[in-house]
Structures are given as structure tokens and as C-alpha cells.
Structure 1
Amino acid sequence: MLRPGGADLTIAGGVREFGRATPDAIAVRDGDRALTYAALDERSSRVACALLSLGLTTGDRVALLSGNRLEYPEIAAGIAKAGLVLVPVNPRLTAPEVEFILGHSGARVLITDGSADFAVRVIRIGPEYEKFLDDARAVDPWIPVDERDPFCIAYTAGTTGDPKGVLISHRSRSLTFYATALEWGIGPGRRTVAVAPMYHGAGFAFAYAAVHCGATVSMLRSFQPDALIDLLARDGAQSVFLVPTHAQLIRQHFSEIPDLPLLDTLYFNAAALPKVLKEWVFEAFPGVGVHELYGSTEAGVVTNLRPPDARRKAGTVGHPWFGTQVRIVDSAGREVGPGEPGELYSRSPYLMNGYHENPAATAACTTDDGFLTSGDIVVRDEEGFISIVDRVKDVIITGGVNVYPRDVEEVLLAHPSVTECAVVGEPDDRWGERVVAYLVSPGPVVPDVLEAYLRDRLAGFKIPKQYRAVPALPRNAAGKILKRELRSTQ
């Protein structure tokens, strides 16, 4: 009797398959440079053989410190072909922060497009990297890996203390890529753009999905609104993944978006898309399907709000994604009903394996039956649509009453004098915490005007006690506002 089976899922699988199925199709574009699938398959095999020639063995870690560029997908695929583990590193980190990640992950090699030296073997993208590949065999080593083993260790920005390394399996990301192809049409003949940085979980997932599923991805080296629109037009991209900050900057730059006849899909992640900004997206990109998804590095994609409901259910993040179960519970662990706030847990094939060398942190965010906390408070309505209320850690308790910052932020963002905002709680001797609003505004901030506006729309205890004008809000690589940095300035 035959037993069902087959090769384990690996993130190198798509490169291998389309290197044979569509060898002449363009896999990656980067300015005037381009790689066909045949070239991507061959060069990633050279990366694998070159790394193995250094004495690396299955499970060893290889760090990649680079911005979005043509070499990123071939290095990631080559590391996977060699049975090694990728450690993506943010080029904006300081040298001590990079050294921590290299040491904590146990990386033995660093491939970089930078010039700094570190206490590991360093290979620099450019002539040195090209010679490294030229001297290697162009043969796929086919090192076997278990699909549940990690393909990467992705380091999150630590809210307190050092960052944690998220172990993400080949199976998790391969299934994410296939679901992405199903949801947003990332497949053969389709074109997309890598806008978000690939060293971040979502940026990697939605850019690399293209080469895993036979599409073409164009690299945007650094984000500028006009550069993105020009690239979408030049390469005829049909879909693109953005974060709300990108939309905000595009809105500020363009009075009218140039015609993009081939663009049919936009999908947003990283932070809630404010209703005012989302309405602008509908108007600026008429006829384009707008998705809003929610997830994390640890959980992958958890929910998706699809175009048919995008306007009707603006302010929600939709229903659970393919193969995902959610559980919403109160502080005692009891499941809550529709309309009641609770903490969101999810269970799916996209979940992380855990935190690298940190079992205590892993145990703290998971349940015995395999659910992972999001750390977010949500509400589910009668139709099953989920709305993010706020981060558990960001809820403000003032005078014993809970204030959810997003409630205040949504109203502030509807005022014409507010471009961006972040509401936080700060210590207060009388109330425990006071509500404080940080504002980015094109002109002077007039507290009395804002307070009068808010009092018609919010309960008195939600009104900020202070308004602070800032030139910009601090954000991480994913575009999420770093509220801890705002609190730490006081």
C-alpha cells in the first residue's frame, strides 16, 4: 500500500520549480538589473554551495544585513537550499545591536551590503560576493530539511530589554506564500513590488511570495512616494503591499494619483488603517481592491478584510485567514461574546516555533492547546468581523477607567489640523495615568480647538490632558508607531 507523502515544504521550493517550469520568465527586477527564474535558481545554488564550502552544516545560521535588492531572494533561497538558517538583520541598527543579534543567533557568516566589520566571517555584496559565487559550483546541493524546522530567526524590536528571535518554519512561510497567491493573485504572469523592507517579517513574506509562486517582484530600494508610483507604472505592477505610513506619505505628496491601469490590488498591514485615510485610498485608487490584514511576526497573517466588505466594515480587520482559528477571552480566560472586548489568541499553521533560546517567553505567550496570544484587545461583531481595540500594554487606566488610545486617535485624525497622532498614558499622581496626545500637524497645534472638537465626540475622561506637537512619530521597520519611545521622553 502506498503511503501519501512527498518532499517537505521549503522556501527554496518555488525557485527550484519555476527555474524549470518558466526559466525565461523574470523573477526579480532591481532598477536596470533583472534575474530570470533560471538565473535565480542557478545563483541561489551557487550561494548554497559557496556557504557549504566554508564548513557550515545543517542548521547553522547565516545573517543577512541588507536593504531590498536583487540579491535578497537569491541569498534567502541559497541559504535554504544549503539547509542553513537565515537571520535577517535591519541595516538601521547600531553596531552593538547587530553584534547582539549575531551573538544570540549564533550566526557564523554575515552577508551584507554595508561596510562595517563584525566578529564573524563577513561577505560583502558587490565584487567580493560575485567572486564568492563564481568560485562555487552551480549545482543544487539538495540538503534535506524538515519542513517544521526554522528557515529563519527573525528578531523583533524589544519593548523592554533585548529583542527576541522568532523561529519561523519552512512550512509556516511556504503555506503563507501559497495562501498569498490565492488571496492576492501573486502567481505566474503577475507583477508586484517589494516596498516594505525584506528584513522584516511581513516585508519578506509578501515580496518573497512572488518568487515562490512564479510571479515577478520589483525591488524598491528606499521608499519615496513618487519613486513607488513611477515603479508601479514602469513595471506594470498589479498588486502591492503597503503599510498605512506609505499611504499617508503618498497622500501628502500627490494631489492626484497618476493613472495606473494595471494595478488591481492593494493590501495593508502593520497597523490599523485609520478610517479617514482608508476613505482617501478608495478615492485615490478607484477600482482597486483594498484588503486590510492583521497579524504579527509570531503569528503570521491572522485576519483579512476583503474588498466586498472594505467600505461597509471599515475599522475592522475582517475574518480569520485561511486555516486560522481565533479565540477571544477576558482577563479570567473565559471566551467573550459579540461586542465584548477581549484578548485575541490564534492557532494556525503559520505560527512561530517559539522564541530562540527563550522558553520562558515562549511559554508566556502560548497555551497548552497551541494558541498564541496577539497581545491585542479586540471586539468581534455579530457577523464575525474583528476590530482591533488596542494593544493590551497600551490601554490607559485613568481614574480606574479604561481608555483605548485608538478610540481617541480615530477622532483626532478626522480633524483637519492633525496629520498623524499617537495617544499614550503617562504617570499622573492624581489619576494614576493621564491621556496625552502626540500630534504631527502642518501648522500650530491649538489645544482649545482640539478639545472643543473632541468634547462633542468623546466622553470627558477620554479627552487628552496634554497635546504635544512633534515633527514625526517614531516607527519601527514595519511602520508601527513606537509608543514606548514617546513615553520614555518624559
Structure 2
Amino acid sequence: MISPQQVPQQVPQQRSGQLPNTLAELPDWAAAVHTDPALEALVGSGAGGEVRWGFPRLRDEIAAAARAAVAHGVRHGDRVAIWAPNSRRWITAALGAVAVGAVLVPVNTRYKPAEAADIVRRSGARLLFTEHDFLGTDYAAALHGSGEDLGALRSTLTLHGPDWDAYLAAGAAVPDAERIARAAAVRPDDLCDILYTSGTTGRSKGVMTTHGQTLRVYSDWARLVGLRTGDRYLLVNPFFHTFGYKAGVLACLLAGATMLPEAVYDAGRVLERIAAERVTCLMGPPTVFHGLIHHPRRAAHDLSALRLAGTGAATVPATLVEEIRVELGAPDVFTAYGLTESCGVVSVCPTDADAETVAHTVGLPLPGTEIRIASPLGEVLGPGEPGEIQVRGHHVMRGYLDDPAATAEAVLDGGWLRTGDIGTLDGRGYLTVTDRLKDMYVVGGFNAYPAEIEHVLLRHEAVRDAAVVGAPDARLGEVGVAFVVTERALDEGELTAWARERLANFKVPRRFVVVPELPRNAGGKLLKGELRRAAAGEDA
């Protein structure tokens, strides 16, 4: 078992000023702490053109949205859902509602109306913010025209158009003293959000976390990864995910970094914006960085301001870390590991680690947390022994909404969260995530871990992305099937020979399928269920 390590000396310390107690206090706190008038808090475009707000202006915009929430009848503890892409109004609407005690329920923008309705209904949301036109879809009309049960939902407001203007106008009549009183009534142990798990392997579950947990985790996270006052952070990760909302919006407010929201990831536009806005920070799954590195016009853009890059997955090739440092020019690269049930973060690998350490580990546990590796029988395993990663600390969720049985299964006696991930701890206490328990398959009695095999395949000079799943086999029970994205034409024989030189025979995939891209959700998570069905010859 590994306890939290000391914060490295080179990590910048927390800026002066006590942290806010709640997210309700965060916008006012940020404006009071980040006082340099040259600092930009948010740069964005949309209705009314481009805006460049300092921290005082952002505070005022959030306060206006908070008064509007009061005028709209939002009460302490009410659930407020938001089904919309990244934008400045997502930020002001969400934080305005949270500032008066509402519990935020972000909804995945990839969801179909029936899926969104399921989240709205099960969360008990009374108010929904959405869009009337995103990528050609009228979200509000699609939802209300779906015929789905929307539960306690009483009103739906679109973030761009007359709805939003009327919402703010009603709030103008609410005295600011009332907003301040509502914010003061929020407590650190109050729920601040319910984020639903991806649901890639079953019905999604609502993860409940509090104001105090969130602020402590992302203050630590910002310090550990080296996010600095004055950094310019391009927010390509969707806000419905912890990576976009908490490690994005909230971390920027805590650190004094500029937010630059992107509604849709497009590698060409991202390159243009990095150059034009002198972006210093970019976070995302490995596919984001692959897209930038291999973009045909990358060299035409000035990326010299980029200094900090963060990514994470079970398989991050060491070559990718080096390419980010050399090809994109970002010297500080980190990996991290977490899950929604841990407030989004468990561990962080420092940016000054060598490429192999950054690629092969996800670092040390957050301050105030513990990690252990457990066998199927619950025994605590020693360094280098693979088993289930379990974590304990202030970042563990308060439970799944309305699902005590699932909560009891996930959080063991003593407060240990079962992650469902397989990993090892080395002698330094660094964590390596090797796979998901559910992804492991058995070939003729031998356990095969897809992440290990994927890592070997990704070392092939022509393989850009790879995913391995188990498929039924009459003789061996299961065999591996590899889906690969390649830079050039590759035949199965070449890949098989490559794998056989580097892997035990039972680990070598029996089939290779070349695909244009791997299926992923909007948060970058690989949809292995789709690949398993394809490997088994089932319809997706």
C-alpha cells in the first residue's frame, strides 16, 4: 500500500489567499486573488462576437447568472442539468446555478434524446440548459419531441437566443445581497454536482461529489501539473466530463489561467488557435496529440508558446511523449489517472520525469490519498504484483445517486474505492495502469492484458492507434483480435511477425483488423464494447 508522497519542491506552491470553501465562493475569490488587470480569465466567441473578460468581468457575468437562477426559482439542492457544448455561456450558466446552491448535472453532448432524457429524469433535474442548434441538431426540440418521460423537469432554456436574454433580464430585479446570502448558505459538504459515468458497459450511474472535495482535488491537481497564473489553456475536453469542467474551468479559476473554450475538436482549428492566442497549455487524450502531430499543416503554425501538455490512458507510447516535446515543442508533459468516482483524479506523474516514466506510469497519489493493489481475494499485494487498483482518501465519491447497492459494491469497508482497473506499484510508489478488469481475457488458461499488447503494437512505426479485445474461440476459449489505425498499408503477416518477436505466443493477436479510426466517446474513452461485438461477428 502506498500513502501520498510529499509534493516535489519544484512544484509551484499555492498562491497567497485562503482557498474558497465552496464553488459558490470561487468566482468572487478568483477576482479578489487574480488582480492583475492584464490577466484574461476567458476568451471566447459566440452570440455578440468575441469576448475577452478579466476575472472581475467573469465574476460579474456569473453573478448575473446566479441572480437569474434565483429569479427562476432555483432552490438550494435543486438539480440543474446542462446539455450543451463548451462555451462561455456554459460556464456562466453552470457556475451561476451552483453559486446559489444548485447541484449541477452535465449531460453528454453525444447522447441521443432518449439517453439525455434518462439522465434528466433520474437526476431529478428541474431546470435544463441546452442549445437549439449544435452541429445541425435542435437539442431542445429533439428532447421535448422524443416523448420521453422527463421527470421533475419544469423548464428548458437555450443558452443562445431570447431564452438566455430573458433569463438574465429577470435576474436584474434580484438584489445582489440575496445572491450573496444564497452563496453563503452553501457548505463544503453540500453536493456540487452529479456526473454520470460513461455507461459504456451498462447503465450509467450518477456520481455524487461535494464542493469541498472538488476544490481540494483541483487545487492539488493544478499545483502538481504546474498550471500557472497567466497560462492560456485551450479547453478542448468536453465540459460534461471532469477533464473539461473540473481540470479545465475550475482549475483555471483556481490558478488564474485563461480559459479558451472549444466547442468541437478540430485539429486544424486547434493549431490555428494555439498560434493566434499564444496557448501555453493543452490537455486531452492521446488522439488529440496524434491529430496535431500528424496534421499536414502543423509546421505552418507557430506553436512556440505551448509549454504544458497533459494526457492519460492505459497505453501512452513513450514515442508520443517525445513527439509532444519535440514536434509540438511542449517541454512539460504529464500523465495522470483518475475516474469519475475519484473526483476525476487519483495520481499525477510529474512533468520532469523521463519519457519512459511519463509513458509507463501515472505517477504518485494525490496528497492526502492512498493507493493499494489487491488480489481477487482482497489481499494487499507487493511492488510489481498486478491486481485491482483501490484508492482511499478525500477524493472518493459520496456514492451513486439512488443506488446504495452499487455504492456498497464500489466502496468497501474502510473507504476503499474499487476502481475496476488492474495495475502495479513500483518500489518508488509510482502507479502503472495495465488494464481494466473487464478487458482481460483468457487464452488457453493464460491471462492476457490488452493494454500490454497494445503498447507493443504502438511501438511499430506505422501503427498510430491500436486496441485489442478478446473474442470467443472454440479451441482456446478466447483469442485476441487487434484493431489498428495505420500510417501506411500493412498486412496481417507483418504485424503478426512484429508481435511474435516481442510477445509470448498466447498474447499475439490471432487477427488484425485495419480501421480508419477507433470508436471513442466524447471524453476520449475507447468504446471496447463495440470492438468486442465486431470481433465476435455481432452487429454493433
TM over 0.5, shorter chain: yes
Moved more, 258-267 or 394-403: 258-267
Aligned-pair CA distance for 1:8: 7.1
1:277 matched to which residue of 2?
320
- The residue identity in structure 2 corresponding to 1:393 is K
Are 1:357 and 2:402 an aligned pair?
yes
Cα 1:270–1:149 change in 2 (3 A) is farther
Is residue 314–residue 435 contact of structure 2 (8 Å, CA) maintained in 1? Answer: no
Which of residues 229, 233, 241 is equivalent to 2:283?
A: 241
Residues 1:263 and 2:299 aligned together: no
Residue 10 of structure 2 is matched in structure 1 by none
Cα distance in 2 for residues equivalent to 1:184 and 1:385: 16
Which stretch has the larger CA shift, 39-48 or 270-279?
270-279
What corresponds to 2:469 in structure 1? 424
Alignment of 1:243-392 (within 5 A): 243-254=285-296, 257=299, 258-286=301-329, 288-299=331-342, 300-313=344-357, 314-392=359-437
- C-alpha separation in 2, matches of 1:378 and 1:241: 23
CA distance in 2, matches of 1:19, 1:8: 12
Q: Does 1:58 align with 2:76?
A: yes
1:142 equivalent in alignment to 2:176 = no
* Inter-CA distance 155–64: structure 2 relative to 1 (3 Å threshold): same
Q: Structure 1 residue 272: deviation in Å?
A: 3.3
2:24–2:100: 8 Å Cα contact kept in structure 1? no
Return the alpha-carbon distance in structure 1 between the equivalents of residues 213 and 315 of structure 2.
24
Deviations 1:149-182 (A, max 9, x none): 2111111121343211111211121112311331
Does structure 2 retain, via aligned residues, the 8 Å contact 1:49–1:141?
Answer: no
1:167 aligns with 2:208: yes
Q: Structure 2: 5+ residue runs without aligned partners?
A: 1-17, 133-137, 145-149
Deviation at 1:441, TM superposition (A): 2.2
1:353-395 superposed Cα distances (whole Å, 9 cap, x missing partner): 1111111111111111111111111112222222111111101
- How far is 1:211 from its partner? 2.1
8 Å contact from structure 1 (residues 192, 240) kept in 2: yes
CA distance in 1, matches of 2:224, 2:121: 38
Q: Could you tell me how far 1:487 is from its partner in structure 2? A: 1.1
Cα 1:16–1:434 change in 2 (3 A) is: same
Q: Is the 8 A contact 1:8 1:147 kept in 2?
A: no
Equivalent-residue separation in structure 2 for 1:150 and 1:270 (angstroms): 28
Query: Residue 34 of structure 1 aligns to which amino acid in structure 2?
Result: R
**Aligned to 2:530, what secondary structure does the other structure show?**
helix
Is 1:96 aligned to residue 135 of structure 2? no
Q: Among 108, 124, 145, which residue is 2:158 paired with?
A: 124
Aligned partner of 2:125 in structure 1 is: 107
* Secondary structure of 1:72's aligned partner: helix
3-state SS of the aligned residue for 2:345?
strand
Whole-angstrom distance in 1 between the partners of 2:365 and 2:340: 16
Shift of the 442–188 alpha-carbon distance from structure 1 to 2, 3 Å rule, reads: closer
Give the letter for the 2:26 counterpart.
Answer: G
How far apart in 2 are the matches of 1:185 and 1:14? 20
Give the 3 Å change call, closer, same or farther, for CA 206–84 of structure 1 in structure 2: same
Q: Report if aligned partners of 1:177, 1:213 keep a CA contact under 8 Å in 2.
A: no
| Cα deviation, residue 475, structure 1 | 0.6
AA of the residue aligned to 2:377: A
Query: Unpaired runs of 5+ in structure 1?
Result: 1-5
Match of 2:504 in 1: 459
Match of 1:3 in 2: none
- Go from structure 1 to structure 2 and tell me whether the alpha carbon gap of 1:259 and 1:126 turns closer, same or farther (over 3 Å shift): closer
The alpha carbon displacement at 1:457 in A equals 0.9
Please state whether the residue corresponding to 1:68 is helix, strand or coil: coil
Contact 1:270 1:478 in 2 (8 A): no
1:225 aligns with 2:267: yes
Per-residue CA deviations over 1:32-72 (Å, capped at 9, x if unaligned) read 22333223222222222222223332111111111111112
Contact 1:10 1:171 in 2 (8 A): yes
Q: 1:210 is matched by which residue type in structure 2?
A: C
Matched, 1:17 2:29: yes
Residue 255 of structure 2 is matched in structure 1 by 213
TM-score calculated relative to the size of structure 2: 0.85
Report the residue type matching 2:234 in the other structure: V
Which residue pairs with 1:75 in the alignment? Answer: 93
Give the Å deviation of 1:414. Answer: 1.6
Distance in 1 separating the partners of 2:159 and 2:297: 39
Moved more, 281-290 or 159-168: 281-290
Query: What's 1:30 paired with?
Result: 44
- CA shift digits 1:128-160 (9 cap, x unpaired): 202211221362343212212211111112134
Shift of 1:214: 2.7
What CA distance in whole angstroms lies between the structure 2 residues aligned with 1:63 and 1:126?
16
Q: Partners in 2 of 1:7 and 1:131 — Cα distance?
A: 34
Matched residue, 2:14: none
Deviation at 1:7, TM superposition (A): 9.6
The percentage of counterpart residues that share the same residue type is 34
CA distance in 1, matches of 2:306, 2:20: 34
Alpha-carbon distance in structure 1 between the residues aligned to 2:475 and 2:193: 47
Tell which deviates more after alignment, 223-232 or 479-488: 223-232
Q: Deviations over 1:316-343 (max 9, x none)?
A: 1112122221011111111111111111
2:194–2:207 CA contact under 8 A, matched in 1: yes
Change (3 A) 1:201 1:18: closer
Greater CA drift, 301-310 or 278-287? 278-287
Match of 2:57 among 39, 44, 53: 39
Alpha carbons of structure 1 residues 219 and 124: separation in structure 2 relative to 1, 3 Å: same
How far, CA to CA, are the matches of 2:499 and 2:310 in structure 1? 31
Secondary structure in structure 2 of the residue aligned to 1:11: coil
Give the stretch that moved more between structures: 467-476 or 282-291: 282-291
Q: Which amino acid aligns with 1:252?
A: H
Pick which of 317-326 and 136-145 moved more: 136-145
Contact 2:318-2:356 within 8 A present in 1 as well: no
Q: Is the 8 A contact 2:314 2:451 kept in 1?
A: no
Contact 1:171 1:349 in 2 (8 A): no
